Amino acid sequence: MNMAQNCLFCKIAAGQIPVVKIFEDEALLGFLDIGPLSDGHTLVIPKQHFERLHDCPGEVLANICRRIGTIAKAVICAVNCDDYNVLCNNGRAAGQLINHLHFHIIPRKTGDGLFNNWPAYKYKEGRCEAIADEIRKNL
Amino acid sequence: MNMAQNCLFCKIAAGQIPVVKIFEDEALLGFLDIGPLSDGHTLVIPKQHFERLHDCPGEVLANICRRIGTIAKAVICAVNCDDYNVLCNNGRAAGQLINHLHFHIIPRKTGDGLFNNWPAYKYKEGRCEAIADEIRKNL
């Protein structure tokens, strides 16, 4: 098992730090965030250490996401709400505080005020196509 | 192919409405959001219609997520940034505007001010464990 020294989530995955678990198998762990944004706010992590989504092999991501809908459904049933975000922050500028890949499942209620800043803009002419060309070159 | 009437993303998947594509295979489509939060803001959708994450079969989610790290990496390389969010909004209260499952890949820069509202709180004693019990019952 690939572990990183001094990684909080590696220690949690190894059972060295207690958490309130909701799901566990050989590869994944789901537990409640102790600093939730809403009741039932859940974290799902691979037990192996990967820093970011794009560091993680496709099959490991597939294994997480194969289960994440089922886990999300159980979370929203438990807290009696319909809506939720699944959020994966990658890098400090994106709000990642623990450098071990994790998916937030965040139950939402109308008007709760979370993530309501959505300052969408329009591309200048040609910019969107130029960026898409560059993305395709990198794929 | 499971399609919904009057669904914008079903029409996009069927090629009836043009978008700036960055990736396509028989099951998935990746394209640039025309109302981006940052340059390179990408949407990845299953071509089949599923409203929310938990409506989507595990294998379809696995198929999306198997690719999403590779796509995210290409996006951030293209726009020359390191950090990004992957976000899936489920339900109107969670910010889902198009009722066809989609994953946002949102490149981030330090201090860009997106999603910086993170009002974490603490559970009262016993509440976290009670919610976890309820989630496990629903799994």
| Full residue range of the structural domain in which residue B104 is found | 8-137
Q: Which residue of A has its CA nearest to B36?
A: A120
Q: Given this model, what pLDDT does residue B1 score?
A: 67
State ipTM: 0.96
Count structural domains, chain B: 1
Return the amino acid letter for B61.
L
Contact, B45 vs B29, CB < 8 A? Answer: yes
| CA gap A105, B89 in Å, rounded | 10
| CA gap A21, A31 in Å, rounded | 4
B102 included as an active-site residue: yes
pLDDT, one tens digit per residue, over A95-126 is 999 999 999 999 999 999 898 889 999 999 99
Of B30, B50, B29, B32, nearest to B40 by C-alpha is B32
A20, part of any domain: yes
| CA gap A41, B48 in Å, rounded | 28
Strands B83-90 and A83-90: antiparallel
A97, part of any domain: yes
Residue B122 CB burial class (10 angstroms; 0-12, 13-18, ≥19): exposed
A3, part of any domain: no
A76, part of any domain: yes
Tell me if chain A has a CB within 8 Å of the CB of B38. Answer: no
B92, part of any domain: yes
- Across the interface, whether the CB atoms of A66 and B75 are under 8 A apart is answered no
- Across the interface, whether the CB atoms of B85 and A94 are under 8 A apart is answered yes
* pLDDT tens across the length of chain B (139 residues): 678 889 999 999 999 999 999 999 999 999 999 999 999 999 999 999 999 999 999 999 999 999 999 999 999 999 999 999 999 999 999 999 999 999 999 999 999 989 888 999 999 999 999 999 999 999 9
A86, part of any domain: yes
Tell me if chain B has a CB within 8 Å of the CB of A77. Answer: yes
The catalytic residue among A49, A100, A102, A104 is A102
- Across the interface, whether the CB atoms of B84 and A78 are under 8 A apart is answered no
| CA gap B5, B3 in Å, rounded | 7
CA dihedral of A117, B70, A48, A12, whole degrees rounded to 10:
0
A2, part of any domain: no
pTM, two decimals, is 0.97
B82, part of any domain: yes
The CATH number of whichever domain residue A124 belongs to comes to 3.30.428.10
Q: Given this model, what pLDDT does residue B4 score?
A: 86
